[in-house]
Chain A
Amino acid sequence: DGGITQSPKYLFRKEGQNVTLSCEQNLNHDAMYWYRQDPGQGLRLIYYSQIVNDFQKGDIAEGYSVSREKKESFPLTVTSAQKNPTAFYLCASSQTGGRAKNIQYFGAGTRLSVL
């Protein structure tokens, strides 16, 4: 069953703590993305990666970091420098060629809260 798996579904962060959100896909997609969703706002792009070992900052990258060591995996770390991390985090993937290249497939999300 192909798709994107995000874990955990819920995550709590203590003050000064770094936390890592997992995103795994078995769709064989080259491109992967991290978005943040806040109530009443559109999805905002944090980081994206078009290929293994390469990634670019999105509009709100400050306080976040990523890695792309494997095609299937694109973990997001929310660092202590992110002062307002409470949000719903969505991971997505897409092809980089062909007619379906612009369609993004999303995971079920991780809801991060601050203790």
Chain B
Amino acid sequence: SQKIEQNSEALNIQEGKTATLTCNYTNYSPAYLQWYRQDPGRGPVFLLLIRENEKEKRKERLKVTFDTTLKQSLFHITASQPADSATYLCALGVNNNDMRFGAGTRLTVKP
């Protein structure tokens, strides 16, 4: 069956450290993968998109990798801050405009 798994429901780290979130998928062949941030009671906000022919994308303190052989994406936040605390969702682009979302990882950055 098709599955998208995000490493854990919750991740706690200390301010200043690098947060690494994992998205694994099975029985999908995504053309692209996206990461979104969602704050409590709000809609997700787009962060980064990486295509199947790209290995890595960066944006300020964010870095995403995409390994289609391992069927895995890693999402890194360097020099994390308490303001980075939120739920992060990965989403697979499986058709033209069809996306499949993971359940999310709730990140807490402690001062």
Those of A63-110 within 8 Å (CB) of chain B: 90, 92, 94, 96, 101-109
- Cross-chain pair count, CB within 8 angstroms: 53
Those of B52-106 within 8 Å (CB) of chain A: 89, 91, 93, 97-104
**Size category, B interface:** 20 to 34
- B43 at interface, CB cutoff 8 A: yes
Inter-chain contacts of A108 with B (CB < 8 A): 41-43
Inter-chain contacts of B98 with A (CB < 8 A): 45
Given the interface pairs A102-B34, A102-B97, A103-B34, the reply to whether A40 lies near B103 with Cβ below 8 Å is yes
Which 9 pairs of residues, A with B, have the shortest CB-CB distance? Answer: A106-B43, A42-B101, A43-B101, A42-B103, A103-B46, A106-B44, A42-B102, A109-B43, A107-B43
| Interface residues, chain A, with chain B CB atoms under 8 Å away | 4, 6, 31, 35, 40-45, 48, 50, 90, 92, 94, 96, 101-109, 111
Given contacts A42-B100, A103-B34, A109-B42, 20 further A-B contacts (CB under 8 A): A4-B43, A35-B101, A40-B9, A40-B103, A41-B103, A42-B4, A42-B103, A43-B44, A43-B101, A44-B101, A101-B97, A102-B49, A102-B93, A102-B97, A103-B46, A104-B44, A104-B46, A106-B44, A107-B43, A109-B41
